Structure 1
Amino acid sequence: MTAPNRTLDIAIVGGGIIGICVAAYLAEAGRNVTIFDRTGICEETSSGNAAALAFSDVLPLAHKGMIRQLPKWLADPLGPLSIPPAYLPKLLPWLVRFWRAGRSDRYEASLAAQAGMMRLAEAEWVGLMARSGTTNMLREDGSLELYESEAEFKASLPGWTARQRFGIGFSHVEGDALAALQPGLSPRFVRGTFVPGWKTVADPKLLGKAIWAYAEAKGARFERAGADHVGAGQDGATLTLADGTVRQAKHLVIAAGAWSHLLAKHLGDRIPLETERGYNTTLPKSAFEVKRQLIFSGHGFVITPLETGVRVGGAVELGGIKRPPNYNRSKALLDKAQQFLPGLDPAGGREWMGFRPSLPDSLPVIGGARQAGTIVYAFGHGHLGLTQAAATGRLIRDLILGQNPVFDLSPFSPNRF
């Protein structure tokens, strides 16, 4: 525990995978780091994600067919995308921004920015895993995206062409080649796309805790406390905790996921973050022999083989942070998984819901608060928090140390909105 009256060097709000990686990079640089989180290290959204290091996932969400599929998906309350009717008025401004982000004139800039971020993410994860002794948690089995018709397959081709421009390898498969990549698939799937460079981790919670143990060995500290308010002081930043106590810090990093924009408001920054509530069920390892991550893009979910089980989940419920979970959504995904893998045993599963912090253009916010140079933001990664965590750690470290970032951060600016 850190003494309440001591001025901290660097305070980080948020003990998810982003905050953990920021702490690791800054601790490696010899800085004194304290993470504040209301629950613990890697105990909330970062603990239960789909475990993908999705370095080839460079397409902005608005370009993945979501807008085209929107009417059909919204007609199904348990489908890939759901919006509770009572939440729609609050969500409407975000949806308008999301629609604008899908316009062709913004496509190239978003695509290039995301591709650059992914190149950095892959390189930084390789290095961080090597330094932290966690390389054994990396799985390099690739991914298999699946299509139920020729029409669905053909609709995916422009996206694959865009990925190809950035050197992302893949191969389209069918017949025996498809069956060999994942035995036991339902015959309803007529085509697939195999991405050999796609990676997963043994278990995201175990990885996050292992990276934290590395950061802790370098001197990073943790304090279990929620953050109620942030402010800019004369010599740094102030952090007011849920119990009313105040911490002073030379630098403050806001990496609180879906709650981050609420803290940013205290600094005068209004960032249009929305919460994608994702659901999954983790089954015992014996449920099915899944060879690699299976992606059912037409249905908005994936199946991932983990060290700790088989995880069935995904989908999007745009419903904010206050509504109670609707676990009928995870049950609906599990029902589909049984149809798609007819031999899947659905017994003994553990249901979960997490909050993905998403911005309309699918790019995170990485940069300084407008009126407080000692406070930096690191949030809004959407589905890609685990994937981009090491890159974000590197970028935030460079910003705090006053070093030039490895690429132009203007596409990720908090002021871009």
Structure 2
Amino acid sequence: MVETAETDIAVVGAGIVGVACALQLARQGRRVTLVDRQAPGHGASYGNAGHLATEQVFPIADLSILKRLPRMLLDPMGPLRLDWKYLPKAMPWFTRLLLNLRPGPFQRSVAGIRTLNEGSLGAWQRLLGSIGRSELFQEDGSLLVFERPESRQALEALRARMQQQAVAVDFWSADTVREAAPQLSPSLQGGLFFPRTGHFIDPYRVVCELFEAAKASGVRFIQAQVDGGRLHSGGVSLASDQGTLEARQVLISCGAHSARLTGALTGKQVPLDTERGYHLMLPGEHQRLPFAVTSLERKFIMTPMAEGLRLAGTVEFAGLDAPPSMQRAWQLHRLSKGLFRRDLSVEGATPWMGLRPSLPDSLPVIDRVCDGRVLLAFGHQHLGLTQAAVTAEWVGRLAERAGGPEMGAYRLDRF
């Protein structure tokens, strides 16, 4: 049986968002129990791209995708794949996504993403500094490169859109790219450099270090599968495969698995789906890049890390339970061919797949509901790592009943 010692807040989900929130809440004097079916950091947080993507202020799709969608879906190794067997279940989510491409909802999503992203860099600096692990993050910028001369117009248009959203961005000529990253191919035409971004040298270690700090602050961890729960006058009862956990409040932050528990406790059916993402880790490629580099045409990212070079990207809609299609991870190596003076080595390479939790308006749910007994922090899509630290600060304010008007865009009742 799970111990039922006095718990102020049970945090369900030990990914980067849940662990950061547990630490924040414990530092505010709360007795916190962290619960996950896996060890901390072993979900989507384990293998993300490691990029602090503060420049990505636009939703996961815009109207331009409609023209490209048929061709993209017909390519099984393309940047977007939809498992046709999953289509009937996914249709309501895609319908909501399309409705959110209308000008009004789209701009609300941009504003919501931008608000979180603008606070993300400072929040991460504060959080890692507070545990003495600032070296895990490198604020060295990131680069979006293009190869075809005809892509320059699209790149310039993107630059203009980002400048309108106050994103710091510089155009780099081909010579500037070669000087900064000499191992990249000389055929590259140039790119956009984002100075207010950076990368984590080991995302999994970041979770582990935060978890150790959380334990030192009094957070208990229980490895258990939470199957449901109910509200009562004294708080929350969570049912798990290890027994029942009682708490005054619960924070639901279990990523792509958050919908069921949210529905059980709040009665609200959340349109949460998962964008399955892949990476390929190349342990023999430590010196290829000085910072994260994304390809405009090939639509994937390469991030230098302590253990090598991580190639990440692609979106696959196939649900929570379908087995991974690891050929999509190996496709990332094929996409890298031609981007370097010398092809990357795959010796010792390891593939991985994770479940990104995505809502159709590209905004997370960050809220306090059910008379304060239920806190919510999930649905950060591609930006879970980027927004984890600022989300933790916001959850800390919600726990103290101090949420501000800027949190309105992330409310549960928008659905």
Give your verdict on TM over 0.5.
Answer: yes
Are 2:279 and 1:280 equivalent residues in the alignment? Answer: yes
Normalization by structure 2: what TM-score?
Answer: 0.95
Q: How big is the shift at 1:68?
A: 4.0
Q: Which residue of 2 aligns with 1:316?
A: 315
Whole-angstrom CA distance in 1 between matches of 2:73 and 2:12: 35
What amino acid maps onto 1:262 in structure 2?
R
Shift of 1:191: 2.7
How far residue 140 of structure 1 moved from its aligned partner, in angstroms, is 1.8
2:414 corresponds, among 398, 412, 416, to 416
Indicate if the aligned counterparts of 1:59 and 1:159 stay in contact, CA closer than 8 A.
no
Single out whichever of 284-293 and 105-114 deviates more from structure 2: 284-293
Counterpart code for 2:61: A
| Cα shift readout 1:246-276 (whole Å, capped 9, x = no counterpart) | 1111010000011001211213111111101
> Deviation of residue 99 (structure 1)?
1.4
Correspondence list, 1:162-177, <5 A: 162-177=161-176
1:343 maps to which residue?
343
Shift in Å, 1:222: 0.6
| Residue 105 of structure 1, CA deviation | 2.2
How far apart, CA to CA, are the structure 2 residues paired with 1:204 and 1:297? Answer: 24
Alpha-carbon contact 1:251-1:400 (below 8 Å) kept: no
1:36 aligns with 2:45: no
TM-score by length of 1: 0.95
SS in 2 for 1:348: coil
| Matching residue of 2:72 | 73
Q: Provide the rounded CA distance (Å) in 2 between the counterparts of 1:409 and 1:144.
A: 30
Say whether the 8 Å CA contact 1:36–1:224 is kept in structure 2. yes
CA distance 1:65–1:179, shift in 2 (3 Å):
farther
CA deviation after TM superposition for structure 1 residue 300, in Å: 2.6
1:375 paired with 2:374, answer yes
Q: Distance in 2 between matches of 1:297 and 1:232?
A: 48
RMSD, aligned α-carbons: 1.8
CA drift at 1:162: 2.9
- SS of corresponding position for 2:145: strand
Shift of 1:295: 0.7
Q: Which moved more, 1:103-112 or 1:31-40?
A: 103-112
> Hey, what does 1:144 align to over in structure 2?
143
1:326-337 mapped onto 2 (5 Å cutoff):
326-337=325-336
Q: Does 1:98 align with 2:102?
A: no
Which residue pairs with 2:354 in the alignment? 354
- The 8 Å contact of residues 62 and 361 in structure 1, kept in 2 or not, is answered as no
After superposition, give the CA deviation of every residue in 1:51-108 in whole Å (9 maximum; x if it has no partner): 0111121111123954443222112101100001111111111111111222222232
Residues 224/316 of structure 1: CA separation in 2 closer, same or farther (3 Å cut): same
AA aligned opposite 1:248 = E
**Would the aligned equivalents of 1:22 and 1:393 in 2 still touch at CA under 8 Å?**
yes
2:261 aligned partner: 263
- CA separation in 2, counterparts of 1:69 and 1:21? 38
How many percent of aligned residue pairs carry the same amino acid?
A: 33
Offset of residue 142 of structure 1: 1.1
Report deviation, 1:294. Answer: 0.9
Post-superposition, which runs of at least 4 consecutive aligned residues in structure 1 deviate over 6 A?
A: none
Gaps of 5+ in 1: none
Shift of 1:287: 6.1
SS in 2 for 1:133: coil
Match of 2:81 in 1: 82
Preserved contact between residue 139 and residue 196 of structure 2 (Cα < 8 Å): yes
- 1:336 counterpart SS class: helix
Tell me which residue corresponds to 2:391: 392
Aligned length: 413
2:118 aligned residue: 119
* 1:187 positional shift: 4.6
Which structure 2 segments of 5+ residues have no match? none
CA distance in 1: counterparts of 2:92 and 2:306, whole angstroms: 41
Task: Give the whole-Å Cα distance in 2 for the aligned partners of 1:298 and 1:63.
Answer: 17
